[in-house]
Structure 1
Amino acid sequence: MGVTRDDEKEPHSVEQRNGTPSLWMLYLSAVYVGVFGFLILLLGDAKTPSWSRLLALGDARQVLGLGTILGLLAVAMQIGIAVFLPEGLWADDGTNAFFTRLSYAHIVLLMALTALGEELFFRAAIQSLLLRWIPSVAVGLAVAAAVFAVAHVRYVTRPVLLAGAWGIGLLLGWGYWFTGSIWTAVWAHFLVNVTMTVLGKRGWFLPGWRSSTGERRRLRQPGP
């Protein structure tokens, strides 16, 4: 028997199963990281970027173009991990599958808040501080990416997932450093999160996806 996707086994929405407060906890957890980032920036000294400079869009074509490229690179990396490595090395604790059970509207809004909050904290605040303290830009970006990876606590015992998060953090950090616009990293982060969640919602690149896909192909084949 093939593996059935979670949203097929449980057609009710997350709100219906777990109650609205659980859904709002997801939103709150996406926001509080950004709040901490704002606090770090507020408590920073005169070398901290001004708010107008921090939130400026910059060159929109560069931000969207480079952000899209970085986001797609991160998506390709995650797909490559799911395709070429044994599932036991990259299967998480079920959190990613949980997100796929949200409605598309909640996915877009939640991932937008997550991208904005995490980029304010990890790139605008933490990375900026590290680049002031560490003379080498490459080392500073690598350390900031490591902080980002370790902050995903559920990945700490999964070396492949931890390395993947570090790679994504490095791409996002470089995009922010290169363009000088936090929106480059926000857009790339949003793009990779939404893309992978929607693919998971369609039954791709989650634990059990190979057997599930094979079962769907078998069912589509004409009988003898």
Structure 2
Amino acid sequence: MKPKSQSEVILQMNDREITIQLILTQVIILTLAIIGSVFLFDSFWSGWSRQLVYDSKQIFLYGALPGLLVLFIDIFLLYRLPRRMYDDGGINVKVFKNRSIISIIGITLLVAVSEEMLFRGVLHAEFGYIIASVLFAIMHIRYLTKMVLFISVLFVSFFIGYMYEMTGSLLVTITAHFIIDVVLAFWIRFGKWGGTDE
């Protein structure tokens, strides 16, 4: 018997099961970031504190504006390309379609914080730009067979990684990541998921 794909498994789950799975996955990623920083940073506290310095100008210029630029490109492509080219098997729709506004904000913020802490805060800081950016893209394994989605996530990974390279700030990359995810989640939630059916 052929094993079920990730999308088949998720599509069979109810909203509560998906929420638990999402939170569990992000807690694991966050735990890996903390464990990694314990072993790799010279000093746990200074390693994180130097990456979490608040600078509103940096956050706006290198976090919010790049996040909005990525959104503009994504939304343009959503309406120009056939739906099949960026369809992830219905996973994103299943995850966000019935979710409350507060739940969407909470989940996308958790994803942005945990993934940026691991991929930029630990992997990028310790192993460099290219390794962290490629690993981030590969983590989105369900996109590997969808060329448009994989190129998109690879671009976003390198783009956000470059913002980190320029600033050394996790608050910048968390902001960009959160803006992209939360707006696209609302786009799905309120039925604006575009594209043509060709």
* TM-score in terms of structure 2 length: 0.83
Q: Take 1:78 and 1:124, find their aligned partners in 2: how far apart are those partners?
A: 25
Is 2:41–2:47's contact at 8 Å kept on the other side of the alignment?
A: no
Q: Take 2:17 and 2:99, find their aligned partners in 1: how far apart are those partners?
A: 14
Is 2:83–2:196's contact at 8 Å kept on the other side of the alignment?
A: no
Q: Give the corresponding residue for 1:93.
A: 89
Alignment coverage as a number of residue pairs = 183
SS at 1:157's partner residue? Answer: coil
CA positional deviation for 1:46:
2.4
Q: Give the corresponding residue for 2:110.
A: 113
Q: Take 1:197 and 1:110, find their aligned partners in 2: how far apart are those partners?
A: 10
Is 2:105–2:182's contact at 8 Å kept on the other side of the alignment?
A: yes
Q: Give the corresponding residue for 2:124.
A: 127
Is 1:31–1:114's contact at 8 Å kept on the other side of the alignment?
A: no
Show the 5 A alignment for 1:171-210. Answer: 171-205=159-193, 210=196
2:67 counterpart of 1:71 = yes
SS at 1:188's partner residue? Answer: helix
Q: Take 1:84 and 1:20, find their aligned partners in 2: how far apart are those partners?
A: 34
CA shift digits 1:55-93 (9 cap, x unpaired): 322x22221332111111211221132122222221111
Q: Take 2:77 and 2:101, find their aligned partners in 1: how far apart are those partners?
A: 25
CA shift digits 1:107-140 (9 cap, x unpaired): 0001000000000011111112222xxxxxxxxx
Please identify the structure whose Cα radius of gyration is greater: 1
2:138 counterpart of 1:154 = no
Q: Take 2:127 and 2:14, find their aligned partners in 1: how far apart are those partners?
A: 40
CA positional deviation for 1:144:
2.5
Q: Give the corresponding residue for 1:144.
A: 132
CA positional deviation for 1:22:
4.1
CA positional deviation for 1:198:
0.6
SS at 2:50's partner residue? Answer: helix
The alignment's C-alpha RMSD in Å is 2.1
Q: Take 1:184 and 1:65, find their aligned partners in 2: how far apart are those partners?
A: 9
SS at 2:193's partner residue? Answer: coil
Structure 1 gaps of 5+ residues are: 1-16, 132-140, 212-224
Structure 2 gaps of 5+ residues are: 1-12
Q: How much identity, in percent, do the aligned residues show?
A: 26
